[in-house]
Amino acid sequence: MQSLPLPLRFLWPALRRGLWLVPLLAGCTTPPPPHYGPQERFSSVATYSRLFDAAPAQTCEAARRALLSQGYLIQGASAEQVEGRKNFQPDAESHLEILIRVVCVPDAPQGVLSTGFVTAVQDRYTVKKVSNSASLGVGGIGSLSVPLTASSEALVRVGSETIASEPFYDSFFDLVRSYLAPAEPQED
C-alpha cells in the first residue's frame, strides 16, 4: 500500500471492499426520462381553446370556413369536429404539412355557448435519394452480368410536433369569430 500514489492510498480500503460499485450501480437504477416534452405542464387551456357565443355546430361550421379561407383541405367535418390539412414546400429538399383538428363541445345546458378546442400538428419531411441496383445474367452465354442501377427520391418524415405558438392560435380563433359574427343587413 505504501507504493500506491497518495490519492489512491486514501481510496484503497473502499476499492478493496468493492464500494466503488455502489455509485455505478445506483446510476443503472434511475427511472427512464418521461416521454413528453418539457413544456407539458397541463396548467393552462388558454392557448388551445376559446369560448364562443354560439352552439357547437355553428362554431365548427365557422372553423370549417376559417380553414377553407386559408387554403386548408377539409379531411372531415361534422357538427362536433373539423379537420383540415395544408401542405407547404419551403425549399426543394423539404416539405411541411399542417393538420388542424377542431373539436366543438357545448358549454351551457341550452347549447348557446361552446368551447372550441384546437390542435395543430406540423410534420416535417425531407427528400431522401434511394439507390436501387440489380444485375442481369444471360444463361446461354455464361455468367455475363450487366449492372442496372436506378435512383429514386422519396419524402421521409423527419419530425412531428404540436404547434405551441399562442399567436398562431390567436389568429385562428380571431378568424373563427369573424365567421360567427352576424351578417350586416344589406341595404336596398
pLDDT tens digits, residue range 121-137? 999 999 888 766 666 56
Of these ranges, 26-35, 98-107, 140-149, 152-161, the one predicted with the greatest mean pLDDT is 98-107
Which pLDDT does position 156 carry in this prediction?
87
Give, for 8, the enclosing helix (H) or strand (E): helix 6-17
Using CA atoms, how far residue 113 sits from 104, 107, 151, in Å, is: 10, 5, 56
pLDDT at 20 over 70: no
- Whether the pTM exceeds 0.85: the reply is no
Of 34-43, 73-82, 146-155, where does mean pLDDT reach its minimum?
34-43
Residue 82 has pLDDT above 80, yes or no: yes
Higher-confidence residue: 101 or 135? 101
Q: Are 172 and 163 within 8 A, CB to CB?
A: no
For the ranges 59-63, 84-88, 153-157, 159-163, the lowest mean pLDDT is seen at 153-157
pLDDT at residue 141, as a whole number: 60
| Sign of CA pseudo-dihedral 99, 45, 69, 54 | positive
Domains of the chain: 43-126+159-178 (3.30.310.80)
pLDDT tops 90 at residue 116 = yes
Percentage of the chain beyond pLDDT 90 is: 48
CA distances from residue 11 to 1, 25, 40, 114 in whole angstroms, order as listed: 11, 18, 44, 69
Angle between the N-to-C axes of helices 166-180 and 56-69, in degrees from 0 to 180, rounded to the nearest 10: 110
CA atoms within 13 A on the CB side of 65: 14
The 3-state DSSP class for residue 15 equals helix
**Band of pLDDT at residue 92, cut at 50, 70 and 90:** confident
Mean pLDDT across 130-148: 60
